[in-house]
Amino acid sequence: MELKKTAIPCLVLVLLACEKSPPDAPQAAATASTVTPIPSAPPVPVPLPAAVKTLKKKNASECKPHPAAIDFGDDAALEREVRKKVGKDAGAITPADLAAVKSINLVNATVHQIDPCIFPMFTSLTNLFLGSGEYDDLTPIQKLTTLDSLRISFSVVRDLRPIEGLKRLDRLDLSHTLIGDDDLKPVGSLVNLTELMLDEDSVSDLTPVSTLKKLQRLSIKKTNVKNLAPLSSLTSLKFLYVADAPVSDITPVQPLMANGMKLIRN
């Protein structure tokens, strides 16, 4: 009986010792301390926006009076076009070269400015087709009296006074510009026009067009024109495009239609 009493306390002490010191605890702690953390991915660099090059517009006062060679500056498109027309892939372009050019076509280029130092030298130019862009000053071409065709559409041109002296103009494209009714008045002096495009301009009054007796083709698509009365005396008119313009009364041009003029509504 005494032996049994002694064995029981010993058994209790053994169990308490096991609870205080679990055999696996030190190993688990050691394992946790040796785990290598997964490195985080480096931050993805955010690309900075590309710097926008600001082109400085020239003033006529900056132009050299008698340059030996033409400085095209940043206008690579104009230089390429001139070189193509004069047949010079390299070397200096001279004022005499510009004076021999008959046509300039920049419809596929973005035009920043009509260069006041270069364009006045195109003294034999008959056709000038400019691409879209932020140009608004037509003064550099006001003395190009040999011009027959002029395209200045998709620009921010508003003031047409510089071209009112270009009496030889036969075809004029003013579509997609900032021209309004008051701005259209100089067109009335271009009495040799046979084609005039005013599409998507803020024009509602065609009175200046009434003096263009040689006009054969007129486009006023997407304008504010309602009244066609100013066109009633234009007996040379053969095509009139009025799609998406608020024209409802075609009575003024019915005699012209009877003589063969085509009114195109689409």
Q: What is the pLDDT of residue 253?
A: 98
Q: What is the pLDDT of residue 21?
A: 47
Kindly state whether residues 194 and 262 are assigned to the same domain: yes
Reported confidence tier of residue 57, pLDDT bands at 50, 70, 90? confident
Whether residue 36 has pLDDT greater than 80: no
Q: Show the domain range for 112.
A: 68-149
Whether residue 174 has pLDDT greater than 60: yes
Nearest to 213 by CA among 238, 234, 186, 185: 234
Kindly state whether residues 78 and 107 are assigned to the same domain: yes
Query: Do 234 and 256 touch, CB atoms closer than 8 A?
Result: yes
Kindly state whether residues 143 and 179 are assigned to the same domain: no
Residues 6+ apart with CB under 8 A from 188: 207, 208, 209, 210, 211, 212
Strand order in the sheet with 239-241: 103-106, 127-130, 149-151, 171-173, 195-197, 217-219, 239-241, 262-264
- Average the pLDDT over 256-262 and give the result: 98
Nearest to 224 by CA among 196, 205, 251: 205
Asked whether residue 207 is domain-assigned, the answer is yes
Asked whether residue 165 is domain-assigned, the answer is no
Q: What is the pLDDT of residue 46?
A: 59
Whether residue 40 has pLDDT greater than 80: no
Whether residue 210 has pLDDT greater than 70: yes
Q: What is the pLDDT of residue 13?
A: 42
Kindly state whether residues 176 and 210 are assigned to the same domain: yes
Tokens of 246: 């608020």
Whole-prediction pTM: 0.79
Q: What is the pLDDT of residue 62?
A: 86
- Average the pLDDT over 61-87 and give the result: 94
Asked whether residue 159 is domain-assigned, the answer is no
- The count of structural domains within the chain is 2
Reported confidence tier of residue 8, pLDDT bands at 50, 70, 90? very low
The string of pLDDT tens digits covering residues 84-138 is 999 999 999 999 999 999 999 999 999 999 999 999 999 999 999 999 999 999 9
- Average the pLDDT over 165-184 and give the result: 97
Interatomic CA distance for residues 144 and 262, integer angstroms: 33
Whether residue 65 has pLDDT greater than 50: yes
- Mean pLDDT, the chain, rounded, equals 87
Handedness of CA 183, 240, 259, 249 (dihedral sign): negative
Kindly state whether residues 215 and 136 are assigned to the same domain: no
Q: What is the pLDDT of residue 126?
A: 98
Reported confidence tier of residue 48, pLDDT bands at 50, 70, 90? low
Whether residue 68 has pLDDT greater than 90: yes
Q: What is the pLDDT of residue 218?
A: 98
C-alpha to C-alpha distances, 106 to 3, 87, 132, 186, 239, nearest whole angstrom: 117, 17, 9, 25, 27
Q: Which amino acid is at 155?
A: S
Reported confidence tier of residue 239, pLDDT bands at 50, 70, 90? very high
Last residue of a domain, one of 149, 180, 215: 149
Whether residue 11 has pLDDT greater than 50: no
Asked whether residue 107 is domain-assigned, the answer is yes
Asked whether residue 105 is domain-assigned, the answer is yes
Asked whether residue 252 is domain-assigned, the answer is yes
Asked whether residue 202 is domain-assigned, the answer is yes
Kindly state whether residues 265 and 175 are assigned to the same domain: yes
Whether residue 237 has pLDDT greater than 60: yes
Residue 247 belongs to domain with CATH number: 3.80.10.10
Q: What is the pLDDT of residue 12?
A: 42
Asked whether residue 223 is domain-assigned, the answer is yes
Kindly state whether residues 102 and 141 are assigned to the same domain: yes
